[in-house]
Amino acid sequence: MTLQDRTERASVGKTGRQLIIEQFLADGMKFMFGNPGTVEQGFLDALEEYPEFQYVLTMQETIAVAMADGYARATNGPALVQLHSGVGLGNGVGMLYQAMRGHAPLVVVAGESGVQYDAMDAQMAADLVAIARPVTKYATRVVDPASLLRVLRRAVKIATTPPTGPVFVALPMDVLDAVIQDEVVPSTRVRSRVTPASDDLEQAATLLAGASRPVVLMGDGITFSGAHGELARVAELLGAPVYGVNSSEINMPSSHPLYGGTTGHMFGEDSQRLLKDHDAALIVGTYVFPEVFPLLSGAFAPNTRLVHVDLNAYEMGKNFPVELALLGDPKSTLAALGDLVATRQNDEDRASAAARSRAFSDAKRAKTEAIIAHDFTHRDDVPLRMSRFMDELSSRLPEGAVIVDEALTSSPEITRYLPDLEPGQFLQTRGGSLGIGIPGALGAKLAHPDREVIGFTGDGGSMYTIQALWTAAHHDIGAKFVICNNQSYKLLKLNIAQYWRERGLPAHEFPKSFDLHDPIVDFAALSRSMGVPAEKVETPEQVGPAIERMLASDGPYLIDLVLSKDL
């Protein structure tokens, strides 16, 4: 039967454009984040038949992907994105890279005019699968109606199977217009709570328990697995400091005595300084190392013994040789490893671990107190310091609030003044794509409508996706937004200063392209023009009242926080 024959029988059965909605609902996806186009008009029209399914309208494809990323992270489940043909997919590629690096299980679909037009090479014709493949875990195109639901179920299964990640399916219009005789059933979900063999775990426990200066390097695999308690127990048994590597969630609370922050983001030397004195490292739920300029060698001290636990075999031993690479779920593996470490420790081992813990905790406490004391000396500065805003917010933040952090150079103050956030309360940008702050907060708010959600972003990053404010007003999504406005790409200034030092170049004026003024963007006016109430905060006296007005608002609200340009 031809596509035309199936289309002509539309009156006696359901078409692909209807069944894909039912398939998405069967897989628990009730939101579609998208921007409409002509080649998707058939299934967008069919959405009106399904009131339980909501289309979230965005003004640009990057925003659709970023909202879905925030939603997927907040729910720890799949999120659905609709892009418009090749041009829309191209617009979304940068944010899809973010989702791929962060392992967000996005199911991305894009329409095409039809299989029957393949030979015409007409307007908007493009190889969508080739465009999507570098930034997705799986990319394909449906060319026969009989395979439509099968392919979608396969895509959902791949997206949600660890290591999770975005997938892409191209949907030609004539495939969706055809009548399909297929049953809608939920997609297969692979259970991955697997644990390495006992002999391998015993080797790992012996190696780690015998170390005199162990360290733990962890990432978002901890949150994906729910291994927070198991991670803390192993670290405490070993007396090992814990550093986040590609860590953008609350994998260990900042207030934990053994949490040391994150390793380098930009330069490998920053990670090396943290690791040079350790003789054993447990790497779990991440890879080493994610810096933009990582060290090609010497990241660890000579003869450091490495144990790597993950569900992503590709990442183990990818850049540095690993003595024990254990394929396993972090939660179940760390639970078993903790038991084995405990049985191998004698009184002397436990005393040594306790001494290491005390020494690290004391040093951490002294460092934090010194930084906060320094913050206090700038409490009344104008232009404002981020520490003043966060100090005032911390005393007013509702319990269970969710923070979406794309503040970059202002991020240290966010984590410093909110040290007790629990898993699920903090979602930091990852992957390097700018623009996640506002739409990511909207996605998180849709996932948690009863919780306060605040998105922090910079003046530069916000302009990548500022149209998301219109979506907030249009759908009445009550997330809050703080623009950390230092009128510059401050991170670039810090990085080029490092570049000058490394190459022995004298400091001089920063490139003019790093400044964002002349004209200065009026974010409050821009926000109000898209229907979101907003105000500018420039002095210490304005901070507290502005925060209270923001938190009292039932709908979306924006604060344009004017900060110091000082490095």
515 SS3 class:
strand
Q: Considering the domain boundaries, does residue 373 fall inside one? A: no
d(CA 68, CA 168): 14
Q: What is the pLDDT of residue 567?
A: 86
Name residue, tokens 């470490």. Answer: 341
Indicate if 479 and 390 belong to the same structural domain. Answer: yes
Burial of 311 (0-12, 13-18, 19+ CB in 10 A): buried
d(CA 318, CA 439): 33
As for how many domains the chain has, the answer is: 3
CATH number at residue 325: 3.40.50.1220
Q: How far is CA 437 from the centre of its chain?
A: 10
d(CA 91, CA 60): 8
Q: How far is CA 276 from the centre of its chain?
A: 29
Q: Considering the domain boundaries, does residue 182 fall inside one? A: no
Q: Considering the domain boundaries, does residue 332 fall inside one? A: yes
Where the chain has pLDDT below 70, the residues are 1-12
519 upstream amide cis, omega within 30 of 0:
yes
Domain's final residue, options 177, 212, 237: 177
Indicate the DSSP class of residue 51.
T
Q: Considering the domain boundaries, does residue 375 fall inside one? A: no
144 SS3 class:
coil
Q: Considering the domain boundaries, does residue 192 fall inside one? A: no
Indicate if 400 and 339 belong to the same structural domain. Answer: no
Q: Considering the domain boundaries, does residue 230 fall inside one? A: yes
Q: Is the dihedral angle over the CA atoms 371, 377, 378, 379 positive or is it negative?
A: positive
Indicate if 152 and 206 belong to the same structural domain. Answer: no
Per the CB < 8 A criterion, the answer to whether 182 and 16 are in contact is no
Q: What is the pLDDT of residue 205?
A: 98
Indicate if 317 and 416 belong to the same structural domain. Answer: no
- CA dist 126 to 81, 112, 119, Å? 19, 9, 11
Indicate if 106 and 76 belong to the same structural domain. Answer: yes
Q: Considering the domain boundaries, does residue 140 fall inside one? A: yes
Q: What is the pLDDT of residue 493?
A: 93
d(CA 109, CA 82): 5
Domain's final residue, options 333, 364, 395: 364
Per the CB < 8 A criterion, the answer to whether 482 and 458 are in contact is no
Q: Give, to the nearest 10 degrees, the angle between helix 61-75 and helix 437-447.
A: 50
d(CA 363, CA 357): 10
Q: What is the pLDDT of residue 122?
A: 85
Q: What is the pLDDT of residue 511?
A: 96
Indicate if 210 and 120 belong to the same structural domain. Answer: no
Q: Considering the domain boundaries, does residue 187 fall inside one? A: no
Q: What is the pLDDT of residue 8?
A: 42
Q: Residue 385: which domain range?
A: 381-562
CA angle 276, 281, 282 (to 5 degrees): 155
With CA atoms as reference, report the closest residue to 15 among 176, 193, 168.
Answer: 176
Indicate the DSSP class of residue 520.
P
Indicate if 502 and 531 belong to the same structural domain. Answer: yes
Q: How far is CA 546 from the centre of its chain?
A: 28
Indicate if 276 and 329 belong to the same structural domain. Answer: yes
Domain's final residue, options 364, 389, 414: 364
Indicate if 120 and 8 belong to the same structural domain. Answer: yes
Indicate if 15 and 55 belong to the same structural domain. Answer: yes
Reported as a single tens digit per residue, the pLDDT across 93-110 is: 999 999 999 999 999 999
Q: How far is CA 31 from the centre of its chain?
A: 19
Q: What is the pLDDT of residue 265?
A: 82
Q: What is the pLDDT of residue 432?
A: 85
- Straight-line distance from the first to the last Cα atom of the chain, in angstroms, rounded to the nearest whole number: 68
Indicate if 272 and 348 belong to the same structural domain. Answer: yes
d(CA 563, CA 567): 11
Per the CB < 8 A criterion, the answer to whether 291 and 297 are in contact is no
Indicate the DSSP class of residue 38.
G
The secondary structure element, H or E, covering residue 32 is strand 31-34
The 3-state secondary structure of 218-271, one letter per residue:
ECCHHHHHCCHHHHHHHHHHHCCCEEECCCCCCCCCCCCCCEEEECCCCEHHHH
- The token duo for 538 is 């420039």
- Residue 152 neighbours by CB under 8 Å, 6+ apart: 20, 23, 24, 107, 169, 187
DSSP readout, 436-495?
-HHHHHHHHHHH-TTS-EEEEEEHHHHTTSTTHHHHHHHTT---EEEEEE-SB-HHHHHH
Q: What is the pLDDT of residue 156?
A: 98
Indicate if 131 and 76 belong to the same structural domain. Answer: yes
CA angle 88, 89, 94 (to 5 degrees): 110
Contacts 24+ apart (CB under 8 A), 45-52: 45/17, 46/15, 46/17, 46/18, 46/21, 47/21, 49/18, 49/21, 50/21, 50/22, 50/25, 52/25
CATH number at residue 449: 3.40.50.970
